Chain A
């Protein structure tokens, strides 16, 4: 298997600082004056119930949503996040008229750049879908489709990766496998994973924030021991689940 040195070329992952994030859905403020730091080269998980504003926060960091006037999203090295972010959603968004390789190399095609087929094939191989390179999306299972979506995200080779519940539509076993794969392939990148699954956050996160309330705020981060991906039965994962569930439930009152 190729190492990350060959698959990821410009890994100089910055930290990201979000300050005073504001966003209102109509007249209802989802969050107001929210601060978050994503540490460089590590996984940060934001855990929260549906509709709390996790996705909006993620889209704000991606530059897809503008916050309030005082809202600032900056990289630790002082530059903006524009052009340094790759985005992966819950749905795979594979284009049905392109085969697997075509989908994996979509970014280059959209930017009018030359397509790096060697790298695409190497990454598809690493993600366990090398055999399906010429298959059409509708011939693939949900897990395989999400693997291809992961490869497409990696093809962007961005130092920052934002993931919006990318594994939540998968069955339990497929989800565990995809989580392991993502940790391996996204090593050394600054990752933000938004999820509503405490187990997922505990397996993958270096730091885990619970997002709760209305307008929503972030609690103090939980930093489980050990390196991701953690075993589902590891002590910190089990005790962490109890704590996270409790924090989630408190916010629901």
Chain B
């Protein structure tokens, strides 16, 4: 096995070692910073509980991603295809980004309740703009010469969109989806913090109230693993689907 595969493991081991050292040498109480071993214990003992809450959070993230990407794609295409939509919607979208979306979480919970609805809405909201912007930008940047050629071939606007501009914008759209995959868990968890009966965010809030810091850390760990796995899975799928992305690798070596 080469060093590049070992490196992440070594980094993780190093971080755990530093963590243990801090606990051992500072004598910090367990309700502030639990030792790695007690977090591991919490992971094992509360495994069933964690898995149940993780399932809820995962469904929220997945639904939020799906809705956010679909709505974002639709608005990106609509803005690029219909001039009035662009003129009316684009300024609204830009200004809406000045509103701190997390501040909307209590309102969403008020309107949509403690169930998964408000969390899906939260994730959808924060995903929507990056996806819209990425796809719209990709569609806008089609090579003018390519459009000239398609027009002399007698292609209509819709045919150009379908056969030229949309496929050409796919790498940009993929960047938007990657960003969405990275921020979707944030939306779901913030929604859970504000008000929920289940989900990893809710579990963390409840554990915090009871000073079960080891459970909080275990929930955080599960959330991190889930988010990282989701991101890399989506990245892998996008790489497979969109092979014409001009990838340039840079190297420090």
| Chain B residues closer than 8 Å to A87, beta-carbon distance | 148-149, 152
Cβ of B244 < 8 Å from any Cβ of A?
yes
Does A156 touch B at the CB level, under 8 Å?
yes
Nearest chain A residue, comparing its CB with the CB of B242: A97
Q: Are B154 and A63 in contact, with the CB atoms below 8 A?
A: no
Q: Does B167 contact A (CB under 8 A)?
A: yes
Q: How far is the CA of A191 from the CA of B70 in the complex (A)?
A: 46
Extra contacts, 15 of them, besides A109-B163, A111-B153 (Cβ < 8 A), are A64-B152, A87-B149, A87-B152, A93-B149, A95-B164, A96-B244, A97-B167, A97-B244, A106-B150, A106-B163, A110-B154, A110-B155, A110-B163, A110-B164, A111-B159
Given A93-B145, A96-B244: A64 and B151 interface contact (C-beta under 8 Å): yes
**Considering the chains assembled together, what is the distance between the CA atoms of A109 and B151 in angstroms?**
13
Interface residues in B142-193 by Cβ distance below 8 A to A read 143, 145-146, 148-155, 159-160, 163-164, 167-168, 170
Compute how far the CA of A11 lies from the CA of B163 in the bound complex, rounded to whole angstroms: 28
Name the residue in A89, A95, A96, A110 with the highest tally of chain B Cβ atoms < 10 Å from its Cβ.
A110
B145 near A85: Cβ-Cβ < 8 Å: no
Query: Which residue of B148, B154, B168 contacts A83 across the interface (Cβ within 8 Å)?
Result: B154
Residues A60-107 near B (CB distance < 8 A) = 62-64, 83, 85-87, 89, 91, 93, 95-97, 106-107
Residue numbers in A under 8 Å from B155 (CB-CB): 107, 110-111
Give residues in A with beta carbon < 8 Å to B. Answer: 59, 62-64, 83, 85-87, 89, 91, 93, 95-97, 106-107, 109-112, 138, 156, 162
Number of A-B contacts (CB under 8 A): 54
Residues of B within 8 A of A112 (CB): 159
CB distance from A90 to the nearest CB of B (A): 8
Of chain A, the residue at the smallest CB distance from B153 is A107
Q: Which residue of B lies closest to A65 (CB)?
A: B148
Chain A residue with Cβ nearest B171: A96
A89 and B145 form a contact (CB under 8 A): yes
Contact for B160 among A83, A86, A110, CB less than 8 A: A110
Q: Which residue of B lies closest to A81 (CB)?
A: B152
| Partner among B143, B152, B163, B244 whose Cβ is within 8 Å of the Cβ of A86 | B152
In the complex where A93-B143, A96-B244 touch, is A111 in contact with B154 (Cβ < 8 A)?
yes
Cα(A47)–Cα(B111), bound, Å: 69
Q: Which residues of B contact A62 (CB under 8 A)?
A: 148, 152
State how many angstroms separate the Cβ of A120 from the closest Cβ of chain B.
14
- Bound together, the chains give a CA A117 to CA B242 distance in angstroms of 26
